Amino acid sequence: CRGKSREYLILVSFPHTLFSSPLLFPQGEDNFTYCPATGLAKGNEHMEFAGWAFPFPGVFLMEEFISEDEESEIVELMDQDDWKPSQSGRKKQDYGPKVNFKKQRLKAGSFTGLPSFSKKIVAQMKACSVLGGFLPVEQCNLDYMPGRGSAIDPHFDDWWLWGERLVSLNLLSKTVLSMSCDSEDSIQLFHTFSKENRELSPPGSFAQTSACKNSGEEGINSILSPRLVPSKEVTVAIHLPRRSLVVLYGDARYKWKHAIYRKHIEHRRICVTFRELSAEFSAGGRHEELGKELLEIALSFQGRPV
């Protein structure tokens, strides 16, 4: 989701996104890396923010969400249907209602539901704490290949129709999800360092016990003062292993754009993204009845690509 080193305003006509904004970073130059075990974005070594970190809320990552055999079966079933050309060197298969996001119009159209092979995937999602009550109404499969220059520019997914949680299953090869922010706000960084194999983590409410944070911090007597940096100077790499499931919600959904650089597509990669309905189409919302109709179709799991 990112472009070239100059600043451009790129209007992207993705079927389920808003438009992207000025590109401030050359491809692949993320200066922080997200640690899923601590929830911290940590400054990359040999870069300006090395030794600094900040909490990056709104990301859930589960490795090995499905097995190799399950992955092979899913991809084989996908390849039995046609892949349609999409933007930026990608190919796609859509399972969802017909939507005009600009005019905010929606109808079932030729939508016949999510594919049968997704029924098991959706059932497995129930084991994830952040996906309680998640009912997908749309599925989009995207096929990335390095030979086609596949990528996707920084963008927000639409939030008139789609709800808070964006769920993606990463198949066939690893990649990097790059996060960027256009906000005029500043980010407060905290210094981290190693001392006798210990890592000092930022103080406060977001300190967590995990594999990325060693315990026993007594004896460390000093913490450098926090550092404020403009949000626009920060990009965060979220490494997505093969067969991993990632969920974006909260700030990661609404304040940070997500992208995939061309340089991070090394082999064929398939992204399977599931979206839920927004409050407007859910219980008590203005379009509750239409939402119920779409969910009933979606969760029949009898669909073919539209």
222 pLDDT exceeds 60?
no
Q: What is the pLDDT of residue 223?
A: 55
Q: Is the pTM of this model over 0.95?
A: no
Residue owning tokens 């009933």: 296
- Break the chain into its structural domains and give their ranges: 32-188+227-300
Burial track 63-73 (b if 16+ CB lie within 10 A, e otherwise): eebbeeebbee
pLDDT digit string (tens) for 109-163?
A: 899 999 999 999 999 999 999 999 999 999 999 999 999 999 999 999 999 999 9
> Average pLDDT for residues 80-107, to the nearest whole number?
95
The overall average pLDDT reported for the chain is 85
* CATH level 3 topology of 32-188+227-300: Jelly Rolls (2.60.120)
pLDDT digit string (tens) for 232-247?
A: 999 999 999 999 999 9
Residue-level length of the chain: 306
- Distance CA(167)–CA(134), nearest Å, equals 10
- Distance CA(90)–CA(84), nearest Å, equals 9
CB atoms within 10 A of CB 152: 26
Q: What is the pLDDT of residue 29?
A: 77
Alpha-carbon dihedral sign for residues 205, 208, 214, 216:
positive
- Distance CA(277)–CA(163), nearest Å, equals 5
The pLDDT > 70 percentage for the chain reads 80
